Amino acid sequence: MDIRALREKAERGDLIAATVLGIYLLEGTGVEKDVASAFDLLSKAAAEGVSRARLHLGRMYLRGIGCEQDTQRGLKLCERAAEAGEFQALIELARHWKEPDPKKAAKFYQRAVDLDIQSCPEMKEAREFVKRQA
């Protein structure tokens, strides 16, 4: 992973590079963790419609990481990412709604199951929840 090249691409306006770099900075993967920079990069990419950036920015708002916690904003970002087919956004939304509204959670889990991503560990969680709700 060439972080310098990724930074250069992000600085030139490459939204995918900005998203990947933002995630790396958020998680501290291959770079020193920098939540503020991650928030800035993911915010810009999310505003331009990058679904993976919306997912991670949504998680940041939901948990109050690098920003003030804003559940509604976080959910909206995750919903937009889910609309674009982001599996992890569907899982995030299902987990959020599990306790207050299991039927709503089941709908998100069902959409995740419908994507049929075999190599994803969350698929078992989704299938089991949907099965219990049936």
Per-residue tokens: 129: 């929840």
State the pLDDT at residue 10: 97
Short-list 10, 4, 58, 56, CA closest to 30: 4
Banded model confidence at residue 91, pLDDT cuts 50, 70, 90: very high
Would you call 1 helix, strand, or coil by DSSP? coil
User: Quick one: residue 88, left, alpha or beta (phi over 0 = left, psi -120 to 50 = alpha)?
Assistant: alpha
Domains of the chain: residue spans and CATH? 1-84 (1.25.40.10), 85-134 (no CATH)
* For range 97-119, the mean pLDDT: 94
Distance (Å, rounded) from C-alpha 80 to C-alpha 26? 20
Would you call 49 helix, strand, or coil by DSSP? coil
* For range 123-128, the mean pLDDT: 93
pTM for the model stands at 0.94
